[in-house]
């Protein structure tokens, strides 16, 4: 009765018989399936199971009217889907925005819908950024921001507003990149025209943060590794920091998820969790298991060696994405607290889990390593990303060299 299929997208009206309301009625929904993923859209109509069975051959006015209403909802989703498929633009996000436009969809609700979608698909890593961005945008421009309001001048005013609030360019950049994703989806869904698109050269370009000079040199790293810890908490934090540094600068989210099956011969093979859902081409990272890394795994790691077990036991297995995020956040907070104590004792400022990755890249560059090798080791998608990543690390070197010019 209500079925449609095209280019791998299947649409069907169905009755959700999992839970009835107080009147014994069940909601009628339109189910859209694409690449084994399903989304359900409400028709706003409720029927008994018996009425649903009778609906195709409905004779009564009540059921005939309900059938027409369901048909209208079905056709709306079908038409939006067909338009997106025609332009080779179908995604659930584009469909959601196109459907929402008929109801006056705002930027605020589009961001909230994306947050809900990320949570539903266990993509919790950037949810906090989108939530914070939506709050700042709402305070700046209200809770009903229309897509056609987002102009280059509007974006420049938002940037100035954020700067006046004392926000860094790093924060501003993250918020605006989140907004750009939403606007990109609106453009793909046909909500705004190409000439209305506000981002890009000659329009509004998202500011690049200067980057902090937080990379350490080899002498500083040696002092950290050889530091005599005052307790086991400091020792664990120091050792995990060193493990991260040696393991291509892998972050703690990746390290917490390492299993013994990731070890292939004398290497650890893994994909960065931060980018695995954002890029079509997945970059496999290979890190040599050095004797120092093996010693740290032997000292602090799981003793089972079962391929399905985590190397480190911060997670037990079976955690939800939100629970995983909590475990990792707590570990990072724990480590940063004790690393700051170690750093203060050694006279090294800003020692944190993140300095391990920066230090790995910087040490290799200063040692003359090929930038293509550094890029591959970090899991970057292209050399330009690596060049931008490394650029801020060399400010200290440039300052030293400039001083030589007047060293009479």
- 142: pLDDT strictly greater than 90: yes
| Percent residues over pLDDT 90 in the chain | 47
User: Mean pLDDT, to the nearest integer, of 179-208?
Assistant: 87
- 278: pLDDT strictly greater than 60: no
Average pLDDT of the chain? 86
- 345: pLDDT strictly greater than 50: yes
Range 104-196 has CATH code 1.10.150: yes
User: Mean pLDDT, to the nearest integer, of 20-47?
Assistant: 89
Quick one: pLDDT at residue 102?
A: 44
User: Mean pLDDT, to the nearest integer, of 93-117?
Assistant: 73
pLDDT tens digits, one per residue of 224-234 = 999 999 999 99
pLDDT tens digits, one per residue of 355-385 = 999 899 889 988 888 888 888 888 887 787 7
- 399: pLDDT strictly greater than 90: no
* 150, 178 contact by CB (below 8 A): no
Quick one: pLDDT at residue 121?
A: 59
User: Mean pLDDT, to the nearest integer, of 259-276?
Assistant: 87
Both tokens assigned to 346: 């050694």
- 120 burial (CB, 10 Å; 0-12 / 13-18 / 19+) is exposed
User: Mean pLDDT, to the nearest integer, of 109-132?
Assistant: 77
Quick one: pLDDT at residue 332?
A: 93
Quick one: pLDDT at residue 33?
A: 94
Tell me how far apart the terminal alpha carbons of the chain are, to the nearest angstrom: 89
Q: Where are the beta strands (DSSP E) in 238-358?
A: 263-264, 267-270, 285-288
Which residues of the chain does CATH 1.10.150 include? 104-196
Which residues of the chain does CATH 1.10.443.10 include? 218-404
pLDDT tens digits, one per residue of 322-337 = 888 889 999 999 999 9
Quick one: pLDDT at residue 389?
A: 65
pLDDT-based confidence at 313, cuts 50/70/90?
very high
* Number of Cβ within a 10 Å radius of residue 18: 7
- 213: pLDDT strictly greater than 70: no
pLDDT-based confidence at 408, cuts 50/70/90?
low
User: Mean pLDDT, to the nearest integer, of 215-220?
Assistant: 90
Angle at 108 between CA 141 and CA 253, to 5 degrees: 115
Quick one: pLDDT at residue 103?
A: 43
Query: Strands 3-6 and 285-288, how do they pair?
Result: unpaired
- 138: pLDDT strictly greater than 60: yes
CATH tag, 218-404:
1.10.443.10
């Amino acid at each position: 009765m209500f079925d449609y299929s095209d280019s791998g997208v299947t649409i069907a009206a169905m009755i959700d018989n999992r839970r009835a309301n107080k009147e014994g009625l069940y909601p009628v929904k339109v189910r859209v399936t694409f690449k084994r993923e399903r989304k359900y859209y409400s028709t706003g109509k409720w029927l008994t199971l018996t009425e649903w069975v009778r609906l195709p051959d409905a004779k009564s006015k009540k059921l005939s009217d309900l059938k027409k209403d369901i048909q209208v909802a079905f056709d709306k989703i079908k038409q939006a889907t067909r338009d997106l498929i025609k332009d080779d633009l179908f995604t659930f996000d584009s469909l959601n925005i196109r459907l929402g436009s008929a109801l006056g969809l705002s930027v605020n609700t589009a961001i909230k819908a994306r947050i809900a979608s990320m949570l539903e698909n266990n993509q919790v890593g950037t949810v906090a950024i989108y939530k914070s961005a939506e709050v700042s945008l709402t305070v700046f421009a209200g809770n009903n921001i229309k897509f056609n309001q987002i102009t280059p001048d509007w974006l420049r005013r938002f940037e100035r507003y954020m700067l006046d609030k004392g926000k860094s360019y790093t924060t501003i950049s993250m918020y605006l990149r989140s907004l750009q994703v939403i606007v990109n989806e609106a453009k793909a869904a046909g909500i705004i025209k190409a000439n209305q698109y506000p981002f890009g050269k000659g329009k509004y370009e998202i500011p690049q943060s200067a980057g902090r000079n937080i990379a350490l040199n080899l002498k500083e790293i040696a002092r950290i590794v050889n530091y005599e810890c005052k307790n086991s908490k400091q020792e664990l934090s120091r050792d995990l920091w060193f493990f991260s540094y040696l393991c291509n600068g892998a972050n703690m989210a990746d390290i917490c998820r390492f299993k013994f099956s990731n070890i292939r011969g004398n290497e650890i093979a893994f994909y960065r969790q931060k980018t695995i859902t954002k890029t079509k081409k997945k970059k496999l990272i290979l890190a040599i298991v050095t004797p120092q890394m093996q010693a740290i795994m032997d000292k602090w790691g799981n003793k089972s060696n079962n391929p399905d077990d985590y190397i480190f036991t911060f997670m037990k297995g079976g955690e939800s994405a939100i629970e995983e995020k909590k475990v990792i956040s707590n570990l990072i907070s724990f480590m940063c607290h004790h690393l700051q104590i170690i750093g203060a004792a050694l006279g090294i400022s800003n020692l944190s889990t993140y300095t391990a990755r920066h230090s790995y890249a910087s040490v290799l560059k200063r040692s003359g390593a090929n930038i293509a090798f550094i890029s591959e080791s970090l899991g970057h998608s292209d050399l330009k990303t690596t060049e931008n990543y490394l650029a801020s690390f060399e400010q200290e070197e440039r300052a030293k060299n400039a001083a030589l010019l007047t060293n009479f």
